[in-house]
Amino acid sequence: MMRPLRRRIGVIKHEDVRAQTAAGLAPHPVGDYVRVIPVGGCEEIGRNMVAFETKNDIVIVDMGLQFPEEDMPGIDYIIPNISYFIGKEKKIRGIIITHCHYDHIGGIPHLVHRLGNPVLFGSDLTLGIIKKRQQDFSTAPLRTQVITNQSQLTLGAFRADFFAVSHSVPGSLGVVLDMGLGPLVHPGDFKMDPDPHSLTPADMDKIKALGDRNVLCLLADSTNAPLPGRQLTEGEIQTNIEEIVANAPGRLIIGTFSSLLSRIQQVIWAAEKVNKRILIEGYSMKANVEIAKELGYLKMKRTTLISSKELPHMPAEKLVILCTGAQGEDNAVLMRIANREHRYLRVEKGDTVVFSSSVIPGNERSVQRLKDGLYREGAEVIHYQMMDIHAGGHAKQEDLKDFYRMVKPRYFIPVHGNHSFLKINKKLALEVGIPEERTFVPDNGAVIEFTAKGGRMTGEKIPTDYVFVDGLGVGDVSEIVLRDRQIMAADGMLVLIATIDGRTGRLVHNPDIISRGFVYLKESKSLIEDVRMRVRRILQDRDPNQPANEVYLKEKIRNEIGQFIFQRTERRPMILPVIIEV
Ligand SMILES: [Zn+2]
Ligand SMILES: [Zn+2]
């Protein structure tokens, strides 16, 4: 049976949203105000983007992508909806990118030029990876400016400063924006790692000092808010990785995300400790490692990395292969190795394969099949969750509460996560004493407004319906296309071809029927014959004195045959009538 369509698909049109918004628009308050608008990332993990807007200025933080859900066949990813900003391009003073993960940078190539190409601010590593990715898209050059945790910027009415946060990638920065009503703090993805020797130490002093700045509002990462306790430190993760690398008896194949640079560094250090060498496989991972190495974020001995040419001379027990291995990333190498589709890498007996426990989110059966395949080839499989993009890099409950106690915000907005994550995160804020009426749990597109009198949810909602990226196209796959794909995926399709005489409208020969994914024609002869008979009757029944109206006839065939098939089979294949006039 066809799955019910999710409500957000195909129901809301841009125009409708605009009309609603205009009708329900609250008048702007007298005096200074700042509006906080989470454009994406508040009903899902992904497509993170928050806008901060005053009378004359807009600053955007992050512009990410979201990987599609299972009922979105053929969609590569989803990006934030920027309709609200069209016509306001001149107000945009800059886009600050907190770090280089795709759920924070992935929308840039598709959106930044449509916003008037504002300057992108980010750490050198963040911008390096954004620029590298931009080469895959033929657009005008980006305007970028490197910032560090010491930078201070003036962006229209906003003063911006930054603090380093600990995350699973170096170069992650938290953002402080102030337009006069008090600092708005957006740490991006973060965890608490006080160890100054960590790969990504947090600026603990700066974070504590925020507590004395009378912070107006804190936006906080909810990714790991449902998890009790504390997140592992990078040091603890290093120990775990060292164990895995040292204990692999033969080759070790590690599938991970190409932007998970802290893990890549840790694998490199672990390998060097036991004199193993590393082959990096996968275009995006190689590129990211190159950039990070050049900028000094990745440290390694000159001899640690080997090329594929050296591969035949490497003893198995001395080799670590680091590759991309997660769904959603271009050409996941691990999948190709497991499926024997890789050019020169095969799984061999004695290999140990490591992958993040959620290689294909929500698709356990494929993971199981992959695992079975690897075992069949004689490999051992280890799940290590920290190889996942969202594991290990985000603060858990106790860390979050510590952070809130340090920052002491007057208002609190949980972001980055599904609605339930946001609600749980809000509870944590209540536990540290932030009053309930000063917490706002937003949906995407909610507008939260602050004035000298305080903050409130305005009830206004900007457009947030999905923008799909499909191949190189953006937004050209509409909800209708997606619905067609869903129908075809669920019940298949049936093509009914009728050839008629252009003058008389009479059928020239028996209608042809083609079925894909619906029924096997040979085994459903009587059903197909009944369909054929009905198509014939529809075409014969029309008034012979009227010219054949193709649109009308097609519609009639689609409706009547659709109904007939549903009665007989309880399926709703897509029906495509084709009328050829000769
Ligand atoms: Zn991240
Ligand atoms: Zn994120």
pLDDT band at 332 (very low <50, low <70, confident <90, very high): confident
Do 59 and 160 contact (CB within 8 A), yes or no? yes
* Residue 366 reports pLDDT greater than 80: no
User: Is pLDDT at 88 greater than 60 in this prediction?
Assistant: yes
How far, in Å, from the CA of 102 to the mean position of ligand 1?
A: 8
> How far is the centre of ligand 2, averaged over its atoms, from the C-alpha of 405 (Å)?
22
Q: How far is the CA of 204 from the centre of ligand 1 (A)?
A: 19
Q: For residue 209, what pLDDT band results from cuts at 50, 70 and 90?
A: very high
In the set 178, 193, 221, 470, the catalytic residue is 221
**39-82 per-position pLDDT tens digit:** 999 999 899 999 999 999 999 999 999 987 767 767 778 999 99
Q: What is the pLDDT of residues 212-222, one digit of tens each?
A: 999 999 999 99
Per-residue pLDDT at 357? 65
Q: What residues contact 398, with CB distance under 8 A and at least 6 apart? A: 228, 229, 230
Instruction: Give the CATH number of domain 46-229+393-463.
Output: 3.60.15.10
Residue type, 10: G
Phi, psi (degrees; rounded to nearest 5) at 221: -55, 120
Q: Among 51-60, 106-115, 243-252, 353-362, whose mean pLDDT is lowest?
A: 353-362
Judged against a pLDDT cut of 70, whether residue 359 lies above it is answered with no
95: pLDDT strictly greater than 90:
yes
- Asked whether residue 8 carries a pLDDT value surpassing 60, the answer given is no
Please name every residue paired with 185 in a beta bridge, in sequence order, or none if there are none: 176, 218
Task: Kindly provide the residue ranges of all beta strands, DSSP E only, lying in 165-288, ordered along the sequence.
Answer: 173-178, 184-186, 217-221, 252-256, 277-281
SS3 content of the chain, % helix, strand, coil (to 5): 35, 25, 45
Q: What pTM value is reported for the model?
A: 0.81
Contact 410, 438 (CB under 8 A): yes
Say how far apart CA 125 and CA 262 lie, in whole Å: 12
Between the CA of 390 and the centroid of ligand 1 the distance, in Å, is 7
Question: What SS3 state is found at 96?
Answer: strand
Measure the CA angle with vertex 496, ends 495 and 499; round to 5°: 135
pLDDT digits (tens, 9 = 90+) for 423-444: 999 999 999 999 999 999 999 9
- Ligand nearest the Cα of residue 126 is 1
Assign domain 479-581 to its CATH architecture: Roll (3.10)
Q: What pLDDT, on a 0 to 100 scale, did the predictor assign at position 46?
A: 92
Kindly identify the ligand whose nearest atom is closest to the C-alpha of 104.
2
Compute the mean pLDDT over every residue in the chain, rounded to the nearest whole number: 87
Predicted local confidence at residue 538, as pLDDT: 87
Residue range 197-205: mean pLDDT, rounded: 86
Q: Is residue 221 flagged as an active site residue?
A: yes
Tokens linked to 166: 């600990």
The fold of 234-387 is Rossmann fold (3.40.50)
Residues with CB under 5 A from ligand 2 (ion): 103, 189
Q: Higher confidence at residue 342 or residue 462?
A: 462
The domain ranges of the chain are 46-229+393-463, 234-387, 479-581
Which range in 332-346, 408-422, 476-490 is most confidently predicted, on average pLDDT?
408-422
On the question of pLDDT at 232 being above 80, the answer is: yes
- Under DSSP, is residue 232 helix (H, G, I), strand (E, B) or coil? coil
The residue among 81, 88, 89, 71 whose CA lies nearest residue 13 is 81
Ligand nearest to the CA of 45: 2
CA of 46 to the centre of ligand 2 (A): 7
Lowest mean per-residue pLDDT among 172-181, 233-242, 325-334, 469-478? 325-334
Strands (E), 89-230: 92-96, 120-122, 144-146, 152-155, 158-164, 173-178, 184-186, 217-221
Predicted pLDDT at 475: 65
Q: 538 versus 271: which is more confidently predicted?
A: 271
Q: Which run of H or E residues covers position 208? A: helix 204-210
**443 near 415, Cβ under 8 Å?**
no
Q: Tell me, yes or no, if the two domains 46-229+393-463 and 479-581 fold the same way.
A: no
Report the range out of 36-40, 129-133, 252-256, 524-528 with the highest average pLDDT. Answer: 36-40
Q: Pick the catalytic residue: 104, 186, 390, 394? A: 394
186 catalytic per annotation: no
pLDDT reported for residue 5 = 35
Distance 3 CA to ligand 2 centre (A): 30
The predicted structure's pLDDT at residue 56: 96
